[in-house]
Every structure is written in C-alpha cells, then in structure tokens.
C-alpha cells in the first residue's frame, strides 16, 4: 500500500533524524511498512545532507504528527 503525499502527489517521503540509531531505525521500519519512503539519519549533519538529497514532503510538524496518528492509530 502506497501512501500519497497530501497536495504533492506521489509517495510521501519522510526523513527520520535521531541521534539514537535504534529510535531512527525503528521509526523508519514502521513508516516503511506503512508505505512511506523514509530516510533515516543519525546526527544533525547527516540529517541536513539527507534532507537536501532526499527532498522530503513539506509538512509542518503538526501535519506530520496528524498524518502519522491517522495512519498508525496505536501511536
């Protein structure tokens, strides 16, 4: 199942930055299984580089949290 990016078309792309590798990998796996394209990053520098190359969906934090809550109701 592919999730669409509201207003942009195509598959939603989400960077997942967290200095804790376990957190970033776990959240990335959950989002990947839900049909999102993800890009984990493990430090600030890597997050900046990954976001520039990955061109993530442009959502505010509130919009992202809302979309995740709708997709993953157990969160």
Within the chain, strands assigned E span 13-17, 37-41
Q: How many domains would you assign to the chain? A: 1
- Distance between CA atoms of residues 11 and 23, nearest Å: 23
Mean pLDDT per 10-residue run, the chain (75 residues)? 50 85 95 91 84 69 79 77
In this structure, is residue 4 part of a structural domain?
no
In this structure, is residue 39 part of a structural domain?
yes
Count the neighbouring beta carbons within 10 Å of the beta carbon of residue 26. 14
In this structure, is residue 32 part of a structural domain?
yes
In this structure, is residue 7 part of a structural domain?
no
Q: C-alpha dihedral over 12, 43, 25, 40, to 10 degrees?
A: 20
Q: What is the pTM of this model?
A: 0.59
Q: Which domain holds residue 33?
A: 13-71
Q: Please give the structure tokens belonging to residue 24.
A: 């970033």
pLDDT confidence of residue 1: 45
């Amino acid at each position: 199942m592919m999730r669409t990016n509201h207003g942009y078309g195509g598959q939603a792309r989400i960077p997942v930055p967290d200095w804790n590798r376990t957190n970033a990998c776990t959240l990335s796996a959950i989002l990947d299984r839900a049909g999102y394209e993800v890009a984990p990053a493990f430090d600030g520098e890597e997050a900046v580089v990954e976001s520039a190359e990955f061109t993530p969906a442009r959502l505010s934090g509130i919009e992202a949290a809302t979309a995740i809550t709708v997709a993953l109701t157990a969160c």
